[in-house]
Amino acid sequence: MDLQLTDKVALVTGASRGIGMGAAKVLAAEGCRVAICARRENLLEGVADEIEAAGNPRPFTIVEDVLPSDAGARIRDRVLGEFGRCDILINSAGGSRSIPWDANDAVWDEGMLLNFDAVRRLTNAIVPSMLANGYGRVMTMTGIMEPAGVNVALAAKAAVHAWSKGMARVHAKAGVTFNCLPPGRIKSEQIMDRLHADPVARERYIEENIPVGYFGEPEDMGYLIAFLASPRARYITGEIIHVDGGMHRYAF
């Protein structure tokens, strides 16, 4: 199937590692012109090197922290300045924040800012360009809604689910879709280096929790992202689509 992505412009946040990196590679391989954003310039340049070495145009790199309130507008200006438009936005900057139930406001503010407000601000900055062109695809990486304890990121991502659904309904007739993708366990910096750093405990976790029997690769998210980014996916909006090897237990 031709995904009709040639020359579509895609902005991917959190592209220095993990899922964002995988999404950028797959979108570039499908013919998109790609802008990749994160804080660590050396890692972004490494991702750009890999994409170029695979025979695709070198991505445009944007070194930004998404937390400041004006970051969304700055990132938008860089993308529109380089490409003149933005067709696809992949919100992958984010991260788990497991905390004590009585953590202070500063802890809550940082986690909500990273995983909800920064996503909303960047999306709101980019959407007018999509509306003007009558085409847009916004995808946000969220998470499985099965709290083991208190986690700011989970609360923020639940907010993203509700917000994204609202955006999908408001902008449906304009050809701009909004979908959320909750990963289960995809190999990434936070998964391999922080949450599951011990290989023995990791294998036990997999055995007990992941029906397919292994952690996913970033590209396992990337292939779904490429399909949803395509004009072929015009009828899929307001959805929450799990990529988790069968991990979540609820049936809807």
Ligand X SMILES: NC(=O)c1ccc[n+]([C@@H]2O[C@H](COP(=O)([O-])OP(=O)(O)OC[C@H]3O[C@@H](n4cnc5c(N)ncnc54)[C@H](OP(=O)(O)O)[C@@H]3O)[C@@H](O)[C@H]2O)c1
Radius of gyration of the chain, Cα coordinates, nearest whole angstrom: 17
Closest to ligand X by CB, 8 vs 185, is 185
Residue 109 in tokens? 């503010």
Q: Binding of ligand X at residue 245 (CB under 6 A)?
A: no
Q: Binding of ligand X at residue 189 (CB under 6 A)?
A: yes
Residue 169 has φ and ψ, to the nearest 5°, of -75, -40
> Which one of the spans 4-12, 17-25, 77-85, 98-106 is the region binding ligand X (CB under 6 A)?
17-25
Written as one letter, the residue type at 22 is G
Give all strands of the β-sheet with 88-91 in edge-to-edge order: 60-63, 33-38, 9-13, 88-91, 136-141, 176-181, 239-240
Judged by CB under 6 A, the chain residues 142 through 181 that form the site for ligand X are 143, 153
Closest to ligand X by CB, 135 vs 243, is 243
Q: Binding of ligand X at residue 141 (CB under 6 A)?
A: yes
Identified binder of ligand X from the candidate list 7, 49, 52, 65, rule CB under 6 A: 65
Closest to ligand X by CB, 194 vs 204, is 194
Size of the site for ligand X (CB under 6 A): 30
> Which one of the spans 4-12, 120-128, 189-197, 201-209 is the region binding ligand X (CB under 6 A)?
189-197
Q: How far apart are CA 113 and CA 133, in angstroms?
A: 29
> Which one of the spans 32-40, 47-55, 80-88, 231-239 is the region binding ligand X (CB under 6 A)?
32-40
Q: How far is the CB of 1 from ligand X (least distance, A)?
A: 26
To 10 degrees, the CA torsion angle through 164, 155, 146, 169? Answer: -10
Q: Binding of ligand X at residue 27 (CB under 6 A)?
A: no
Identified binder of ligand X from the candidate list 9, 19, 27, 51, rule CB under 6 A: 19
H or E element, residue 34: strand 33-38
238-251 b/e (C-beta count within 10 Å ≥ 16 → b)? bbbebbbbebeeee
Strand 60-63 and strand 9-13: the pairing is unpaired
Q: How far is the CB of 91 from ligand X (least distance, A)?
A: 7
| 3-state secondary structure (DSSP) of residue 59 | coil
| 3-state secondary structure (DSSP) of residue 149 | coil
Residues within the interface to ligand X (CB under 6 A): 14-20, 38-40, 43, 65-67, 92-96, 114, 141, 143, 153, 183, 185-186, 188-191
